[in-house]
Amino acid sequence: MNQHYWSEVIKRLGFNEQGAWLVYLAGAILLPLAIFLKKRISWKEWYVTFGVVGFLAWMANIVLFFQLDLLDAGKPAIGSFPDLIMFSIAPSCIAVLYLNYYTDKKRWIIGLIFTFCSLIIEYLLVKVGFLTQKGWRTWYSIPFYSFMYFIFLPWHLRLIRAEKQIDTEEITRKPNHIIFFLNFLSKKKRAR
């Protein structure tokens, strides 16, 4: 049984999956670039962006790959390590790199470059056989990439950098709005 367990663990690393080499290569290039090629964002912005984009990529994976069944990645019967790279590490690294180069002046050029590069990466994943399209075409991703690069990520960065931060002491001094509302309702009932 112990030998069977470890053979399953090795299988989940996905070394033998078709096209997994491209996913590993992309991860090996993108992660160091995202960590060391830090220019315009702070570590807090890096950390929040990495987590938020990783979460959104997994949600997109669940909707597009499982619920709508439009695509398959690797061996769809089992989740493997290349899936982890493809759905959380690579999109997060690309978002961090984008924000490192993003400025209001270069917004359109950088957005177009990253949209184009994301399409190329998706196209290559299909060509090497890691992604299987089942009712999806690569160009369908243009609105998603455009939304991310032209709308969501700039908004996300402005939100993180917002000057008015939440003061936790102020929140604890003020009455909880839900309790205030419930007290208001109960006073109203007593008045009847």
Domain containing residue 34: 2-166
The pLDDT tens digits of the residues spanning 148-180 come to 999 999 999 999 988 655 555 554 555 555 665
Residue 73's DSSP bridge partners are: 131
- CB count, 10 Å around CB of 3? 7
In a domain, 151, yes or no: yes
In a domain, 190, yes or no: no
In a domain, 191, yes or no: no
pLDDT for 181 beyond 70: no
* Axis-axis angle for helices 153-160, 90-101 (nearest 10): 70
In a domain, 101, yes or no: yes
In a domain, 70, yes or no: yes
Domains of the chain: total: 1
The pLDDT tens digits of the residues spanning 81-95 come to 888 888 889 999 999
In a domain, 181, yes or no: no
